[in-house]
Structure 1
């Protein structure tokens, strides 16, 4: 069986669309479609249901279960070839853009002073890049992964609260600001929707940076990470009762996890990145 066909199928199953799989693999959408057609021809039955997002058939699920160990083995083989004591080459980190801007970017000069021959590639996106497929070497995530081949270390706990501009008049009808796009389903947004049920958000944005700036401008109240809110000007934490959220016990905290594929955790350049992240984000 052609490895490229199986690699395409794994990306398609993981990402849920032809477009996303093509982008992740660096090929055209027609190539992904062609690879899927060849696999389905070999299987003699459909492997995916053409829905949005794509879903695997029972036959497709069986194929994925067989393919995943092959993906892990390929990564382990590549890691073995890369296992050299010399710290040079490229290492890839997947993280959300806000964490890059708030915490990592100001400390990058330290990383390069310590490792001048390393090249750091950062995927600053809210989409979770796959460690299992080799899209990234290390990932920073707010959810602990469940796959057994991924090793996770808790770095810190992020706490959240309601924030508003000091000059904003607070009352039970104060406007609230929310998140959209890839952040529409995160726990903080769902919490806000429950608290402000029946009151549509005055503004919805796709990143915490824009949300914080809108709070600074006095447009309304929003749930923000306390660490980020401390960097804003003229913004204060407010109690739930001040904004008509009586009975709300507060926004649950979330842990920040540093994740690496088991096959890569001993590669020297990956270890260098892991050590630096642990120091910066402790």
Structure 2
């Protein structure tokens, strides 16, 4: 049997992960007919079907399940090859792809990246605002800013800083409810919560406050929208203090309640972290994020 082409293996993996040809074709950026031809060609080379069609989509056959871990190993090896090749570039030019949470990307990174562009105009930046994790080994991003310690193997990581969190409310809400002076007074006010994300509930439980999601009259998992709900006066909400304190539409409240800081980590695939252009961006991000004076989140507020 001839060796399967790597493009066929990539199509197999994408289809196995998504469970449909349409979703897999979007993920790979190729047409659905082309993807279908890849799957049929691979099945013809192997002499057996890899997928069975079901009401909910495509599922792996016994052979498909057997081949999946081997295909994943090939994918990982290909990713390492690509990273090693990219890391050998000595130029301070080219593209660096950064992913960060939507809040950090919206409020903190614009000023940092403006300074970076002045320092290194030959480096192009692709910024991916996302609250979901990107796979750094498969070059979904070159550098990731994470609010947790990354545990994926083969990464270079650095703890940059801890971001203080405060509680905020709009003046209109405080006019109706008063400024809370005690925990009980605070809990009597409407609090904006997350929807399916249980982070707020876990933080409250850790400081001895038991609540359920139904105790939040307004709920939203999109943290940019969440913050605008706070600014509109719908309830009390939490935000990084370097963002909240710069926002003239809200007032910081409840200093008696100590919220845990958010850790901020940088992460990059280990081979790629040696690239001069990635290292320059990495060092610039680390220095700027450690120094709140280098940021101007107020410029993004209006």
Partners of 2:135 and 2:52 in 1: how far apart? 20
The equivalent residue for 1:279 is 287
Q: Assess, with a 3 A threshold, how the Cα gap between structure 1 residues 115 and 52 changes in structure 2: closer, same or farther.
A: farther
2:74 is the counterpart of 1:70? yes
Distance (Å, rounded) in 2 between the aligned partners of 1:222 and 1:144: 25
Q: What per-residue deviation string (whole Å, max 9, x for no partner) do you get for residues 166-188 of structure 1? A: 552154442221234xxx32523
| Alpha-carbon spacing, 1:191–1:87, altered in 2? closer, same or farther (3 Å) | same
Residue 245 of structure 1 is matched in structure 2 by none
Aligned residues: 271
Q: For residues 199 and 81 of structure 1, what CA distance do their matches in structure 2 show?
A: 51
Work out whether 1:116 is the aligned partner of 2:89: no
Distance 2:52 2:188 in 1: 47
CA separation of 1:231 and 1:101: change in aligned 2, threshold 3 A: same
What's the counterpart of residue 241 of structure 2? 226
Q: 1:37-90 CA distances to partner (integer Å, 9 max, x unpaired)?
A: 766784957679979899988876664443344333323333343322221121
1:216/1:235 contact within 8 Å kept: no
- 1:204 is matched with which residue: 204, 215, 219? 219
Query: Residue 11 of structure 2: SS of its match in structure 1?
Result: helix
CA distance in 2, matches of 1:144, 1:40: 41
* Partner residue, 2:99: 94
* Change over 3 Å in CA distance of 1:79–1:35 after alignment to 2: same
Alignment of 1:33-52 (within 5 A): 35=38, 42=46, 44=48
Q: CA deviation at 1:197?
A: 2.1
Q: Secondary structure at the match of 2:27?
A: helix
Query: Alignment partner of 1:140: what SS?
Result: strand
Aligned equivalent of 1:8: 11
TM-score, scaled relative to structure 2: 0.72
Matches of 1:57 and 1:259, distance apart in 2: 37
| Equivalent-residue separation in structure 2 for 1:54 and 1:141 (angstroms) | 33
Q: Give unpaired runs (5+ residues) of structure 1.
A: 241-248
In the superposition, relative to structure 1, how do residues 64 and 224 fare at CA in structure 2: closer, same or farther (>3 Å)? farther
Q: Contact conserved, 1:153 with 1:258, CA < 8 A, in 2?
A: yes
CA distance in 1, matches of 2:236, 2:60: 41
Match of 1:27 among 13, 26, 30: 30
Q: Which residue of 2 aligns with 1:140?
A: 145
Provide structure 2 residue ranges, at least 5 long, that are not aligned to the other structure: 291-302
User: For each residue in 1:192-251, what CA deviation from the matched residue of structure 2 results, as whole angstroms up to 9, or x when unmatched?
Assistant: 6974327443323343333223223321112333333222223223268xxxxxxxx865
Query: Kindly tell me: are residues 160 and 64 of structure 1, through their superposed partners in 2, closer, same or farther at Cα, counting changes over 3 Å?
Result: farther
Partner of 1:164 in structure 2? 169
Cα pair distance change 1:265/1:188, threshold 3 Å: same
Superposition deviation, residue 16 in structure 1: 7.4
SS in 2 for 1:212: helix
Equivalent position SS for 1:281: helix
Matching of residue 235 in structure 1 with residue 255 in structure 2: no
- Structure 1 213/279 Cα, relative in aligned 2: closer, same or farther at 3 Å? same
Match for 1:258 among 251, 262, 266?
A: 266
